[in-house]
Amino acid sequence: MSNPKWVWYFKICLLQYSWIAPICAGIAVVLNLAGLYSNGQWQFNRGYPYITFIVNASQMLALYILVTFYINTKEELRPFKPLAKFIVIKLIVFFIFWQSVLMSGLAAVGVLRNTLCDPTTDTHCNGSTTGFTVEQEKILLSNVLICVEMFFFSIAHHWIFSWRPYADGSLKILMESRYRHLNNNQNDRETHHATTVF
């Protein structure tokens, strides 16, 4: 906190995710077009494990920096109740990312299997091909989980991101007082600097 550059360090560490994620997505697209990505397969001659590791490391760094920023500014941020907002937003990202990794892991160990019935090789199909490929099962389960999670997250958002502090004007009053305080401090510093120079 004594070093004024800490804000810039936090900013850089937070924003690194906003450019690492799209770069990794672009690399994944190129690798996929070249047949070298293999989404969900933990083969180290394919791009998926490396992209997953890089994105995960980037997310963890951003998360660590956000927590550190909160610890250093929690008194100033207390009226905005940021902890609950931070947790509910990060849990959405956490669940979506890690459940996709979990589905890939379940497919890798054989829990998710190809359930398509091939009537040409299996006489018990009776002409039916009902079932799913492993990829379809992963997508289906992930989408079902996201729908269930979003129902609960929407309820949480209704209470955590309430409109009431904006409707009663309490946050407006707080922000105006802080703005005046910051401007007064800035003017005092400029006056002190001017008198020091002359």
DSSP string, the chain: --STTHHHHHHHHHHHHHHHHHHHHHHHHHHHHTT---TT---TTSSHHHHHHHHHHHHHHHHHHHHHHHHHHHHHHGGG-HHHHHHHHHHHHHHHHHHHHHHHHHHHTTSS------TTT-GGGTT---S--HHHHHHHHHHHHHHHHHHHHHHHHHHHT-SHHHHSSHHHHHHHHHHHHHHHHHHHHHHHHHHHH-
pLDDT string in tens for the chain (198-residue length): 446 677 788 889 889 988 999 999 999 999 999 999 987 788 899 999 999 999 989 988 988 988 888 888 888 788 888 888 888 887 887 788 788 888 888 887 888 777 766 666 666 555 555 667 778 888 888 888 889 989 999 998 888 888 887 787 777 888 788 777 767 765 555 555 545 544
- In this prediction, residue 27 carries a pLDDT of 96
Output b/e per residue, 121-160; b: 16+ Cβ within 10 A. eeeeeeeeeeebebeebbeebbeebbeeeeeebeeeeeeb
118, 133 contact by CB (below 8 A): no
Whether pTM > 0.85 for this model: the answer is no
